[in-house]
Structure 1
Amino acid sequence: MQDFIQAFALIFVAEMGDKTQIMAMAFATRYKISHILLGVGIGAFLNHGLAIMLGSLLNRYIPLEALQLVAGVLFVAFGLLSLSISEEDEETTKINKYGAIATVAMSFFLGELGDKTQLTALTLSTQAQLPIMTLMGTVSGMVVVSSVGIFIGAKLGDRIPEHMIRLGSFVIFMLFGLNKIFSSSYVQSMGSTFTWILILMIALLTVYRFIIFRRQIVEISVSALRQKAKDLKAYKERIQNGIDQLCQGCDVCRDMGCVVGYMRGILAERMKPGELNSDYLEMLHNRDFDPDKAKVISVMIDEYFEKYPDERETNWQLVTVQKVLEKIIEKNTIHLV
């Protein structure tokens, strides 16, 4: 147990705020949490397992410089792929879930090759009584640290537009990738001409991805506006039908003299926001309308507002209709804000 606690504590402290946690935060904007944690666990297990079981052989026969260069190239690729926004349905998500796990696992496995975390695991294994407990401790530490990063990423994802999060992921992966590539002795040995050609290639790929990314943002924005207009029309028709069912067949609706006629006038845009006031509403005829039917209509409006929260502040028609419905349901004074 001592081997587990020591390994867990050292890895947790070493990776808190390090690139591993930031990578987890970036992945949290793209994949499900369960897939990320599973990928982190697999990647860390393979990475630390190699360090503990075959660390000395790895250093002797496989140059870490080569592995670091491969990791850098993959990070740049992940960064470029981050510049993409698409509307995937649930079936597409199911198809891609194993790809997400493999991507995260490979990223963490290669990203930690030759890093201080792997070297720490290797050092701990030389003095551990039970190497398997050391392995469990290091993997657990990586998963817990990543969980903190995922939590932060998920919270940010609720408040920051998706395209900004994608840009953040792009920057993070590109920084790590470019650092690994251009600090590699293999690249440095190729000379300045090769380095500038490599920089130019990466720059051209980045510009190309940004062009596609911008086009996707515009297309999705237009698509979202069209869908919003379509949904609003559909909800208004449903609400109008519900209001029609509230009507008891009196004549005063023709002159908007009762609450039902008033709601009809609101939806038909025969009134402007500035013409609304509580005194006028209190003068309206409010017969014994069915409160259950009014609740059904109010729920429809809540559904629309849940789908488009910003509409609660801007769509005065639906807000006003819902306030009138509350008057029918509660039979009390209504106040417009």
Structure 2
Amino acid sequence: MEALITSTLTVALAEIGDKTQLLSFLLVARYRKKWPIIIGIIAATLINHFISAWFGQWFAGWLPEQYAGIIIAVSFIAIGLWVLVPDKLDDDEANCGTCGAFLATFVLFFLAEIGDKTQVATVVLGAQYASVVWVTLGTTIGMLLANVPVVLLGERIMRYVPLNVVRVLAAAVFIVIGLVGLWWSW
């Protein structure tokens, strides 16, 4: 259960201000079909994050035990610093021709997640916990917690939520988790 909760919170925080949130805005503005977009986000995230969590678990099996905790803690600190850098959506990532809302969302979200901070966080969580399934479910729920409100409420949210403040708070949480992890690893 810890893997599920930690994975959910980690990705929900990492996703704040991420390019996939911007992509959510773009897809809703273009297609105006909310449910196919949400289902596309779910499908793309489940596949991408399952592969990422599996890779993290596999990689952790190769790490010497005395270094695994330190590497995971430093990774959380790095993700926290990365969260401070605002994302922008590349025009090429936003263009999917005449695809339907579901297919466009699936393809664009899957590609946008490759090398993204939430994918890196999923790899780290996969390395930290021994359950690919719980990590995948947690990171997918975290992705949905961050993106579904954007799909459903869009611009209303951005009027009331100062994104820079939220980004700094999210970064602080990651850095504190990393520092606590380093403390326990020594």
Normalising TM by the smaller chain, what interval? Answer: 0.5 to 0.7
Q: Distance in 2 between matches of 1:144 and 1:45?
A: 14
| Distance of aligned partners of 1:76 and 1:25 in 2 relative to their CA distance in 1, 3 Å threshold | closer
Which sections of structure 2, spanning at least 5 residues, go unmatched?
Answer: 60-88, 158-186
Q: Distance in 2 between matches of 1:131 and 1:137?
A: 10
RMSD after superposition: 2.7
TM-superposition CA deviations, 1:143-174 (whole Å, max 9, x none): 12111211332759xxxxxxxxxxxxxxxxxx
Q: Distance in 2 between matches of 1:28 and 1:121?
A: 26
Q: Distance in 1 between matches of 2:94 and 2:36?
A: 21
* Residue in structure 1 matched with residue 123 of structure 2 by the alignment: 122
* Residue in structure 1 matched with residue 7 of structure 2 by the alignment: 7
Report the 3-state secondary structure (helix = DSSP H, G, I; strand = E; otherwise coil) of the residue aligned with 1:108.
helix
TM-superposition CA deviations, 1:99-127 (whole Å, max 9, x none): 32111011110001011111110111112
Equivalent pair of 1:25/1:146 in contact (CA under 8 Å): no
Q: Provide the TM-score with structure 2 as the length reference.
A: 0.60
Which sections of structure 1, spanning at least 5 residues, go unmatched?
Answer: 58-70, 83-95, 157-337
The higher relative CO (CA closer than 8 Å, separation ≥ 6) is in 2
Equivalent pair of 2:94/2:108 in contact (CA under 8 Å): no
* Residue in structure 2 matched with residue 26 of structure 1 by the alignment: 26
* Residue in structure 1 matched with residue 150 of structure 2 by the alignment: 149
| Distance of aligned partners of 1:110 and 1:44 in 2 relative to their CA distance in 1, 3 Å threshold | same
Q: Distance in 2 between matches of 1:115 and 1:19?
A: 9
Q: How far did residue 31 of structure 1 move?
A: 3.6
Q: Distance in 1 between matches of 2:35 and 2:94?
A: 24
Q: How do 1:166-177 residues align onto structure 2 when only pairs under 5 Å count?
A: none
| Distance of aligned partners of 1:28 and 1:76 in 2 relative to their CA distance in 1, 3 Å threshold | closer
Equivalent pair of 1:28/1:154 in contact (CA under 8 Å): no
Report the 3-state secondary structure (helix = DSSP H, G, I; strand = E; otherwise coil) of the residue aligned with 1:129.
coil
Q: How far did residue 2 of structure 1 move?
A: 0.7
Q: How far did residue 74 of structure 1 move?
A: 4.6
Q: Distance in 1 between matches of 2:33 and 2:94?
A: 22
- Percent identical pairs in the alignment equals 26
| Distance of aligned partners of 1:136 and 1:28 in 2 relative to their CA distance in 1, 3 Å threshold | same
* Residue in structure 1 matched with residue 135 of structure 2 by the alignment: 134
User: What is the identity, as a one-letter code, of the residue corresponding to 2:10?
Assistant: L
How many residue pairs are counted as aligned between the two chains? 126
Q: Distance in 1 between matches of 2:53 and 2:132?
A: 7
Q: Provide the TM-score with structure 1 as the length reference.
A: 0.34
Report the 3-state secondary structure (helix = DSSP H, G, I; strand = E; otherwise coil) of the residue aligned with 2:120.
helix
TM-superposition CA deviations, 1:42-92 (whole Å, max 9, x none): 1111111111124679xxxxxxxxxxxxx96851534xx59xxxxxxxxxx
Report the 3-state secondary structure (helix = DSSP H, G, I; strand = E; otherwise coil) of the residue aligned with 1:16.
coil
User: What is the identity, as a one-letter code, of the residue corresponding to 1:104?
Assistant: T
Q: How do 1:117-266 residues align onto structure 2 when only pairs under 5 Å count?
A: 117-153=118-154
Moved over 2 A (4+): 54-57, 71-74, 151-156
* Residue in structure 1 matched with residue 49 of structure 2 by the alignment: 48
Larger radius of gyration: 1
